[in-house]
Structure 1
Amino acid sequence: MVSSTGMNKAARSLCLLLLIILFPASFRAAPVQETAPNTLGFEFQEHRLRNGLRVILSVDKRLPLVTIVVAYGAGTIREQPGQEGLAYLLENLMFRGSENISPLQHIGFVQKVGGDLNAMTTPDRTQFFETLPSNSLPLALWLESDRMKSLAITPAAIEITRTDLIREHQERLASDPSLGGFAWFDALLYPDDFYGHPLINAGDGMKALTEKEILNFHGTYYVPNNAVLCIVGNIDIAGTRELVARYFDTIPPGYGVPPLPVPVFRQDGEVVRYLSDILASSSGFHLGFRFYPLQTGDAYSLKILEYLLLKGDTSRLRHRLLRRDLTAHHLSGGLEIRGGVLGLKIFCLNNNADMVERAKKAILSEIDRLGRNPVSPDELAKAKKLFKMDYLRSQSTNLGRALFLVDAALSGKPMNFLGEELDKYMKVSPPNLMGLINRHFTPQNRVILELGKK
């Protein structure tokens, strides 16, 4: 006698067989997805504290050292019109003392244990980093948490810091007059109320800042839920998580951190301007392209294009201007990111106005050639090889790895796919480059600032 259970199984099997015969497409095996190789060469962990602080930890036991990076989404893009220099001022005020630390004592504590430290402000962030013996990790976390929680912004600290920064900037301008052109150029390349802000410019904006503006900026952006803490080095993950929680978990979060402003660029055609009072004894120019909005994959293509044009002695522009045509005696530049906007900036120094014209035409000609004719496999492979070396080298130190992870976090990249990022650069093709150039390298996105006498 056959049981009812057996009959049910047989019936189900027969039904399944009939379905496969009648609808074979529905039962085909799913295609195997190719998985991009993980090229990071290191592991990391990420978590958030209750106050919103984003914490990234990565172990590297090669040396008894640890690097700590604290980055705030508090760059120059966050400044209001007329507040130029505010983000840079706050960066320096962060060393002027807090509840338990005297002015400049933060520097002394780190240097006393054999460590070094620095800070920098960019358009979209301000970050602080220190490398010191790994057994001094609690010291570094105490220092960073104390100024995150209780920075002492006093009228005296503001005036001392502001005066020092403006004086140092004026001294740099006096020693290298060409520096003044960079702020002018940025304002032209990013014609927007926020994205074209200079770090300090002539100092007029910084001079006019009120204590209230400074306190409001600090209270809005120097908060845990607008920050990333990254620790890389000879650490124990469990113990480090406990230390981080002990020092940072009780810091109150900020409220209403605004999103980055949406850029509005007002430019109908190519912009060409002249500054005759800079480089009075020679000539030169800035040339740049702005890229916004970007399509998927454009950022990877732009990075490879940067290497084709500017990186290495045999790159197209360096070879042509400095070695073949001899139209320039200095050429520098590269790709930069300001929020979701990318820019390719080129700075060139020439002997006279005639050489300026020839160099400009050569640059535009090389870009045009890349847009019309596919780059050769050998040239593309060479650029990718150089980029890959730089990409991997940048992650070979504790500081380089920490900055890489912080950049990924603040840029909104999916952290669980970082290991596949290099493969995306390596897959950039000649059609990708040609499409990019034809879409973005237009007069509406191009700016030229000439320096010196015509």
Structure 2
Amino acid sequence: MKNSLFPLLFLFGVHLGAQEVMYEEYDLDNGLHVILHNDESAPVVTTSVMYHVGGKDRTEGRTGFAHFFEHLLFEGTKNIERGKWFEIVSSNGGQNNANTTQDRTYYYEVFPSNNLELGLWLESERMLHPVIDQTGVDTQQEVVKEEKRLRYNNRPYGQLLTVVGKELFSKHPYKDPNIGYMEDLDAATLEDVKAYNEKYYVPNNAVLVIAGNIDVTQTKKWVSSYFGPIPKGAPVTRNYPKEDPITTERRIQAYDPNIQIPAYVLSYRTPGFKERDAYVLEMISTYLSDGQSSKLYKKIVDDQKQALQVGAFNISQEDYGMYLVFALPVGETSGEVLLEEMEEEVAKVRNELISERDHQKLLNKFENQFVNSNSSVAGIANSLARYHLLYGDTELINKEIEIYRSITREEIKEVANKYLRPNQRVIIDYLPKDAQAN
């Protein structure tokens, strides 16, 4: 039975992965890129706009603006009364949300398909007629600061990625957290905010995706009507400083008053997500720590019972990535022991070929992830927007899996050697605050 199940799973993954997402894309005269995907399997439609603006797009002393705008642009518009946005959506059978990374901001609505025009109107209002005044700025400054307190400042391990960013980057804006700093949010003026909106929230810095049960001809007419009149903005240019290579291992200590169990971290700077090597690093992190049968978990948590939790993950970003291997100790297990055990597993990937069986398991997992990412209309909309805006290749929604399928065991070893060497890392002892006094 075992001998027959494995190839069947592989064939199952290949078959599902071969399903093609059909779409049409074009540009309006104002530079807005439009992508349409018709899916008649359910009477729903997702309307989404992704702006090419994230936490890294700021000046010194004004961090966190992109995330702040994620909130501010729900305040209201010329034709939507303050505080009524969510009421309009929910009363028409829809749901909506937004999220921000260091590289982009994403807004979306999911409606019954007969409310597509409403979704288009809402997003065109956000782009063309946002009301940006002192009342909205003051309100959302407090909302964002409270979120920062809850999700970062007062949450166990909430500052860990902020520490990693500061240590891996000294020049690039990735050195600062996406949500920004309290003092920068306090210092933001109405003029700062308006200038930010005029620079980044323009049609030529965005992609509009409509995915679901749509009449394509009618949809194009609505898109032209609602988005065509929006003025084109000035071209957005970026010229962020390059980081010097990390060539010598460093070790630092950071303290968190919200934790009782320390975390020990091996952190590395890695390439941006458009690079092929970033795909390989994703496979390495899955190999090391995805699931209870993964190498790190089985060894350090299950067999040797040295850690409560262990993991490896590649934080994908546009310009650079961050690769982390971490563990939380059990009982009296020392940080030194955990660091040695983690390095031993990373070194095996650098020095040895993973087994053919493990390689095939990785391929199957990525086949499954690929299929799941395109299993809903909302997921397809997000993927279409992301691949066009950040990767410059919408067709990756269908062909990205081919990149993973082409990654060999030899390439995994080569990439681990390229980026995950001891002299390229920063070791972080992330300790309880009371340990600082000892």
Tell me the TM-score normalized by structure 2: 0.89
Which residue is equivalent to 1:34? Answer: none
May I ask how many residue pairs the two structures share in their alignment?
418
Distance 1:356 1:218 in 2: 46
Q: Which residue of the other structure, out of 388, 402, 405, is the alignment partner of 2:367? A: 388
Which residue identity is paired with 1:50?
D
Please say if 1:423 is aligned against 2:420. no
The 5 Å alignment of 1:197-346 reads 197-259=176-238, 261-265=240-244, 267-278=246-257, 281-292=260-271, 297-346=276-325
Distance 1:444 1:204, change over 3 A: farther
Q: Which residue of the other structure, out of 24, 30, 35, is the alignment partner of 1:45? A: 24
Give the SS at the match of 1:100.
coil
Which residue identity is paired with 1:432?
E
Which residue identity is paired with 1:129?
Y
Q: Which segment drifts farther, 311-320 or 352-361? A: 352-361
- Deviation string, structure 1 residues 284-314 (Cα, Å, up to 9, x no partner): 1333221137996313312221211121221
Which residue is equivalent to 1:442? Answer: 421
- Partners of 2:37 and 2:212 within 8 A in 1: yes
Distance 2:53 2:389 in 1: 11
- Partners of 2:154 and 2:258 within 8 A in 1: no
Q: Which segment drifts farther, 257-266 or 426-435? A: 257-266
Distance 2:45 2:27 in 1: 20
Which residue is equivalent to 1:24? Answer: none
Distance 1:333 1:142, change over 3 A: farther
- Partners of 1:350 and 1:356 within 8 A in 2: yes
Which residue identity is paired with 2:268?
F
- Deviation string, structure 1 residues 347-387 (Cα, Å, up to 9, x no partner): 43224674332222222111110111111110111111112
Which residue is equivalent to 2:11? Answer: none
Which residue identity is paired with 1:97?
G
Distance 1:297 1:178, change over 3 A: closer
Distance 1:295 1:338, change over 3 A: closer
- Partners of 1:195 and 1:263 within 8 A in 2: no
Distance 1:260 1:333, change over 3 A: farther
Distance 1:201 1:323, change over 3 A: farther
Which residue identity is paired with 2:382?
L
The percent of aligned pairs where both chains have the same amino acid is 27
Which residue is equivalent to 2:4? Answer: none
Cα offset, 1:179, TM superposition = 0.7
Distance 1:279 1:417 in 2: 41
Which residue is equivalent to 1:21? Answer: none
Which residue identity is paired with 2:106?
Q
Distance 2:80 2:274 in 1: 47
Give 1 or 2 for the bigger CA radius of gyration.
Answer: 1
Which residue is equivalent to 2:138? Answer: 159
Cα offset, 1:330, TM superposition = 2.2
Cα offset, 1:415, TM superposition = 2.8
In structure 2, the gaps of 5 or more residues are 1-15
Distance 1:129 1:348 in 2: 36
Give the SS at the match of 1:411.
helix
**Cα RMSD between the aligned structures?**
2.2
- Deviation string, structure 1 residues 213-259 (Cα, Å, up to 9, x no partner): 22221111110000011111101111111111110011001113113
- Deviation string, structure 1 residues 94-151 (Cα, Å, up to 9, x no partner): 1011110112322111111121111111010011111110111100110110110011
Q: Which segment drifts farther, 177-186 or 103-112? A: 177-186
Distance 2:357 2:45 in 1: 40
Which residue is equivalent to 2:5? Answer: none
- Partners of 1:328 and 1:355 within 8 A in 2: no
The 5 Å alignment of 1:114-153 reads 114-153=93-132
Which residue is equivalent to 1:56? Answer: 35
Q: Which residue of the other structure, out of 356, 372, 394, is the alignment partner of 1:377? A: 356
Please say if 1:77 is aligned against 2:61. no
Distance 2:373 2:17 in 1: 16
- Partners of 2:366 and 2:401 within 8 A in 1: no
Which residue identity is paired with 1:425?
Y
Distance 1:172 1:370, change over 3 A: closer
Which residue is equivalent to 2:3? Answer: none
- Deviation string, structure 1 residues 23-68 (Cα, Å, up to 9, x no partner): xxxxxxxxxxxxxx98352201111111000111111111100011
Cα offset, 1:389, TM superposition = 0.5
Which residue identity is paired with 2:126?
R
Q: Which segment drifts farther, 88-97 or 328-337? A: 328-337
- Partners of 2:199 and 2:236 within 8 A in 1: yes
Distance 2:424 2:134 in 1: 43
Distance 1:220 1:174, change over 3 A: closer
Which residue identity is paired with 2:328?
L
Distance 2:239 2:113 in 1: 36
Give the SS at the match of 1:195.
helix
- Partners of 2:55 and 2:180 within 8 A in 1: no
- Deviation string, structure 1 residues 263-301 (Cα, Å, up to 9, x no partner): 324644223211234455321133322113799631331
- Partners of 2:282 and 2:314 within 8 A in 1: yes
Distance 2:255 2:331 in 1: 13
Give the SS at the match of 2:334.
helix
Distance 1:44 1:230 in 2: 10
Distance 1:191 1:333 in 2: 23
In structure 1, the gaps of 5 or more residues are 1-36
Distance 1:303 1:221 in 2: 30
